[in-house]
Structures are given as C-alpha cells and as structure tokens.
C-alpha cells in the first residue's frame, strides 16, 4: 500500500505541475484547447489527491487530519476543488496557473520532506484523541484553501490586465476564509481548554494564527475605502497567504510549542491548526 500511495502522490504532483504550466501557457488568445487540457489535468490531480487521502484513511483507520503530511493532502485537495468550482462558475481561468502552482509546491513539500510518512502510522497523542480534531482541522484546511484561491487571483490581477474585474470575488472568497479561520480558532480554543485547561496559552501557532487573522480583518475592514483598492488590496491578500504558509511551515520548523509535538518532520502525529 505504501508504494501505491507513493505512486499516486507522485502522479498528483505531475498533474498539478503540468496543469500549472498549461494554465500559464494558455493565458494568450487562441489557447482555449491548452486551457481545457489544463483543467482536465487539475481535475485528474484532484481525483488522485482524494484517492491518496482515502488510502491514507484506510491505512490509519481514521480521517487523514492528524499529521502535517495528512493536513497538506487535505489542504491541497480543498484548494483544487475550490478553484475548479470557481473556474466553472465564473469562466475565469487566469488564476489557474498560480493556484495549481501552489498546489504543486505543497505536494512537492510532502514528497521532499515527508516521504517517510506515506505508509507510517503512529498512535495518536492523547490531546489528538478528541472529536474536536475533525471539525477544527477541516475548518482550518478550508480557510487556508480559500486564502490560497484568493491569493492566486490577487497575483494574476497584479501581473495581468485581462482579469481586472475580480476584486469583489477576491473579497468574497477572503471573507469566507476569514469566517472559517475565525471558527477554527474558536473551536481550537475550546479544544485547548479541554486538553490543556486553558483557552489560550500564547503558543507560537496560536500567536501567528492570530496575526494572520488580524491581517485579513484589516483587509476586510478597509476593503471599501479608496486607499485600499487595487494593487494595495492584492498585496495584502498575498501577504496574508504568506502568513498562512508561515503559520504552518515556519512555526513547525523554527518555533516549538504545544502545537509542534516534536516537529512536522520528526513525528507523524503533529497537531496542526
């Protein structure tokens, strides 16, 4: 099963990378067929991503939500699904290259840094044996995915002129992500009180999640003001997503705390948020 999962994940990586390349190459007039192939590759990658999650569920005997490796699979899958839904509904394909590139880089991080976890299943730590795990992590993954899609649109709006009408969509997607992030933080606080006896302990992951929340709150609050429109708004959305990535990767590598549990690379049962 481990070898099969490895093959599936490598195929997911190839599909996402090829999809990103074709989306970027299809941004010029007369490249509609290229964009169709890119969409098919993104869809195929998403289906295989889901397959990898199902296989991980079978191996672990639980939903794939308790380790850094599992979280990235879920985060990436939701990101791709949101993008595909967005493309179908809006018929705007400009962000496909950036979003699929983000998905590809996330899967690449799994291949490079977490390869040993493909078939590894460690007993869950006591704090993770809670019904709060599923809803807390799923809301966090969905929030991160929303921010990834918003950042992809923001990047393309900065560098291209043919999707300059997406500012309201970026705002709406970011607002959805903000609500989900808020819910995740609240649920995490309730869970923390049950597990550790305190709703908030100023753990590095909690602090950086709060910083991310504040950045997006400022963006949403100032959205309708003229001084925070266009380029400045796009840069803030991109900066917010950079903080999202730091909250997951940077905190686990550089800072230790209650959420680290020996680090994302050393232990397959890392708690994420």
Residue 65 lies in a domain: yes
Q: Are residues 141 and 107 in the same domain?
A: no
Q: Are residues 176 and 104 in the same domain?
A: no
Residue 51 lies in a domain: yes
Q: Are residues 9 and 48 in the same domain?
A: yes
More confident call, 223 vs 213: 213
Compute the distance between CA of residue 249 and CA of residue 204 in angstroms, rounded to an integer.
12
Read off the DSSP letter of residue 115.
Answer: G
**Which residue is listed with tokens 């299943």?**
121
Residue 41 lies in a domain: yes
Residue 273 lies in a domain: no
Residue at which a domain ends, from 99, 121, 143: 121
Q: What's the chain's average pLDDT?
A: 83
Q: Are residues 27 and 54 in the same domain?
A: yes
Q: Are residues 145 and 246 in the same domain?
A: yes
Number of domains composing the chain: 2
Is residue 240 over pLDDT 80? yes
Q: Point out the least confidently predicted range of 38-42, 94-98, 161-165.
A: 161-165
Compute the distance between CA of residue 203 and CA of residue 189 in angstroms, rounded to an integer.
11
The CB density around residue 192, as the number of other CB atoms within 10 Å, is 22
**What pLDDT, on a 0 to 100 scale, did the predictor assign at position 266?**
40
Q: Point out the least confidently predicted range of 7-11, 17-21, 177-181, 230-234.
A: 230-234
Mean pLDDT computed over 165-185: 91
Enter the tokens of residue 64. 């794939």
**What pLDDT, on a 0 to 100 scale, did the predictor assign at position 269?**
37
More confident call, 59 vs 243: 243
Going by pLDDT thresholds of 50, 70 and 90, the confidence category of residue 127 is low
**What pLDDT, on a 0 to 100 scale, did the predictor assign at position 271?**
36
Percent of the chain with pLDDT over 90: 45
Range of the domain at 127: 123-267
Is residue 179 over pLDDT 90? yes
Mean pLDDT computed over 193-222: 83
**What pLDDT, on a 0 to 100 scale, did the predictor assign at position 29?**
67
What's the start-to-end Cα distance of the chain, in Å? 28
Q: Are residues 114 and 212 in the same domain?
A: no
Q: Are residues 142 and 111 in the same domain?
A: no
Q: Are residues 7 and 141 in the same domain?
A: no
Residue 28 lies in a domain: yes
Quick: pLDDT tens for 259-272.
554 344 344 333 33
**What pLDDT, on a 0 to 100 scale, did the predictor assign at position 66?**
77
Residue 272 lies in a domain: no
Residue at which a domain ends, from 70, 92, 121: 121
Q: Are residues 81 and 128 in the same domain?
A: no
Enter the tokens of residue 109. 């991080």
How is 198-214 classified by DSSP, letter by letter?
Answer: -S----HHHHHHHHHHH
Compute the distance between CA of residue 204 and CA of residue 232 in angstroms, rounded to an integer.
28
**What pLDDT, on a 0 to 100 scale, did the predictor assign at position 195?**
67
Q: Are residues 102 and 139 in the same domain?
A: no
**What pLDDT, on a 0 to 100 scale, did the predictor assign at position 43?**
97
Going by pLDDT thresholds of 50, 70 and 90, the confidence category of residue 164 is low
Q: What angle do CA 265, 150, 230 make, to 5 degrees?
A: 135
Going by pLDDT thresholds of 50, 70 and 90, the confidence category of residue 151 is very high
**Ramachandran region, residue 75 (left: φ > 0; alpha: ψ -120 to 50; beta: rest):** alpha
Mean pLDDT computed over 199-215: 84
Is residue 123 over pLDDT 70? no
More confident call, 17 vs 201: 17
Compute the distance between CA of residue 160 and CA of residue 180 in angstroms, rounded to an integer.
29
Q: Are residues 260 and 137 in the same domain?
A: yes
Q: Are residues 100 and 156 in the same domain?
A: no
CA atoms within 13 A on the CB side of 39: 16
Is residue 157 over pLDDT 70? yes
**What pLDDT, on a 0 to 100 scale, did the predictor assign at position 272?**
35
Compute the distance between CA of residue 217 and CA of residue 240 in angstroms, rounded to an integer.
10
The H-or-E segment that residue 53 falls in is helix 32-60
Residue 96 lies in a domain: yes
Residue 177: exposure state from Cβ atoms within 10 A (0-12, 13-18, ≥19): buried
Top mean pLDDT of 52-56, 127-131, 247-251 is at 52-56
Residue at which a domain ends, from 92, 121, 150: 121
Quick: pLDDT tens for 52-83.
999 988 887 888 887 788 889 999 999 999 99
Residue 248 lies in a domain: yes
């Amino acid at each position: 099963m481990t070898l099969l999962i490895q093959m599936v994940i490598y195929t997911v990586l190839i599909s996402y990378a090829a999809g990103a390349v074709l989306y970027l190459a299809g941004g010029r007039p007369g490249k509609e067929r290229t964009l169709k192939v890119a969409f098919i590759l993104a869809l195929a990658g998403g289906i295989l991503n889901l397959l990898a999650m199902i296989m991980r569920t079978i191996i672990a005997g639980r939903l794939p939500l308790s380790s850094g490796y599992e979280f990235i699979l879920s985060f990436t899958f939701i990101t791709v699904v949101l993008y595909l839904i967005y493309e179908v509904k809006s018929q705007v394909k400009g962000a496909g290259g950036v979003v699929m590139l983000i998905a590809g880089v996330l899967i690449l991080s799994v291949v490079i840094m977490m390869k040993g976890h493909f078939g590894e299943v460690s007993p869950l730590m006591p704090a993770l044996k809670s019904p709060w795990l599923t809803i807390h992590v799923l809301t966090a993954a969905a929030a991160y995915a929303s921010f990834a899609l918003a950042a992809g649109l923001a990047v393309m709006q900065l560098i291209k002129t043919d999707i300059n009408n997406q500012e309201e969509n970026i705002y709406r997607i970011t607002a959805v992500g903000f609500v989900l992030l808020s819910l995740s933080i609240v649920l995490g606080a309730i869970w923390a009180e049950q597990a550790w006896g305190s709703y908030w302990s100023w753990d590095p992951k909690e602090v950086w999640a709060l910083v991310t929340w504040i950045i997006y709150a400022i963006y949403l609050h100032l959205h309708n003001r003229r001084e925070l429109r266009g380029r400045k708004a796009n840069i803030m959305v991109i900066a917010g997503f950079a903080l999202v990535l730091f909250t997951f990767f940077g905190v686990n590598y550089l800072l230790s705390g209650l959420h680290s549990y020996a680090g994302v690379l050393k232990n397959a049962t890392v708690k994420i948020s």
